[in-house]
Amino acid sequence: MAISHAQALLLLFVSIFFLPAALGTAIEFSNEPHHMYKGVVKVTKVEITPYPIKFHDNPIFKITAVTSENLTEPERILHVEFDSLRGNRNGAFYLRYYLCHKTKCPIEPGRPFEITLANVYAVQRDDHLSGEYKVSVFFYDWAAYPGSLDMHASFKFHASALAEFNNIPITDGVNVSEVEIWPFNVTVKDNPVFRIVAVTPKNISSSSTVSARMILEGSSELIPRYSRRGYRLCESTYYCPIVPGTFVLTFPHPYWMYTMKAGRYRVEVQIVNQNIPFHVSMNLVFWFRVSEA
């Protein structure tokens, strides 16, 4: 059976949001040069589960590496630095472990080994990661420090793609519990996708549409007149027709044909039953910020 262009887009958006969480995502990394780095250990893979990292997720970082020498010293120190890049209100922090507490020792040449890190936000005041980070990972022999580094690698990741939102009360209406934006930290070159998680007490007709409108706050210019778009409900969710309980909407931003300007945007989203005049099942407002590239 052939599928429409909109259905194909929905499949793509759903795969972006759901597959990484189920499979773990391989992240780009580099074995970085350093005047103390001997080149003994090289990282071959970095994975984060789940990814993208959402609010209150407890991600697991798995680093796979291989060494050209025996690593037998029990007092080798693993040092992990999380440096804030942008959008991060928690600042930088670091973690330090005995290497053999995070992987099986001794480590033999040529055989891949894994370093697993969890509960990385335990050193912070907040119980979540937020923003964009660069992570530097290296380890060394404590007895010989400062001397040489056996491993020196880095990778970057984003955490928490949630937007600020308000449910506008409707009698027996839908209650939104979460709004996500992908990609995280939107720039003027991006075409963000919105994902809304909500709960409904009643059935929602498959003849309904999702109506979305974007407004650039603090500007006399309505982002342009085409800033409102309608999406068929069944092309925005797999839960169609929607029955009482939790459902998810996923759709591109309504200004997708144009280049956005930097600033703070307000997005108004409604679910409207086309067969019943003025019948609104969901009335939502959320905000996000767009920065220069």
Which of 72, 76, 4, 68 has the alpha carbon at shortest distance from 39?
68
37 and 89 in a single domain? The answer is: yes
Residue 292 is predicted with a pLDDT of: 84
- Can you tell me the distance from the alpha carbon of 253 to that of 274, in angstroms, rounded to the nearest whole number? 21
Whether residues 148 and 131 fall in one domain: yes
pLDDT value at position 43?
95
194: domain CATH number is 2.70.220.10
Q: What is the Cα–Cα distance from 21 to 1, expressed in whole angstroms? A: 29
Cα–Cα separations (whole angstroms), residue 285 to 74, 222, 267, 282, 293: 55, 16, 6, 10, 25
DSSP 232: E
pLDDT tens, N- to C-terminus, the chain (293 residues): 455 555 554 454 444 444 444 456 888 899 988 778 888 899 999 999 988 776 667 789 999 999 998 887 777 889 998 887 754 445 678 889 999 999 998 899 999 999 999 887 665 545 566 667 889 999 888 776 666 788 889 998 877 667 778 898 887 789 998 888 877 678 888 888 888 989 999 999 998 999 888 888 876 554 554 457 788 898 898 888 899 999 999 888 776 666 778 888 888 999 998 888 778 999 999 988 888 86
pLDDT at residue 257, rounded to an integer: 65
| pTM (two decimals) | 0.55
Looking at residue 86, its pLDDT comes to 55
Predicted local distance difference test score (pLDDT) of residue 223: 52
> How far is 83 from 185, CA to CA, in rounded Å?
16
The answer, yes or no, to whether the previous bond of 183 is cis (omega within 30 of 0) is: yes
**Assigned domain for 153 exists:** yes
From 159, 183, 203, the end of a domain falls on: 159
* 29 plus 148 within the same structural domain: yes
- The answer to whether residue 14 is domain-embedded is no
Residue 5 domain-assigned (yes or no): no
Calpha distance 92→4 (Å, rounded)? 46
For residue 82, what is the domain's CATH number? Answer: 2.60.40.770
One domain, residues 134 and 39:
yes
Shared-domain flag, residues 275 and 182? yes
Element holding 16 (H helix, E strand): helix 5-23
Do 218 and 139 lie in a common domain?
Answer: no
In a domain, 1, yes or no: no
Q: How many domains does the chain have?
A: 2
Residue 48's φ and ψ, nearest 5 degrees, are -125, 130
Residues 223 and 192 in one domain: yes
Task: Looking at the structure, tell me whether residues 240 and 274 fall in a common domain.
Answer: yes
Question: Is 4 inside a domain boundary?
Answer: no
Q: Which domain holds residue 224?
A: 162-290
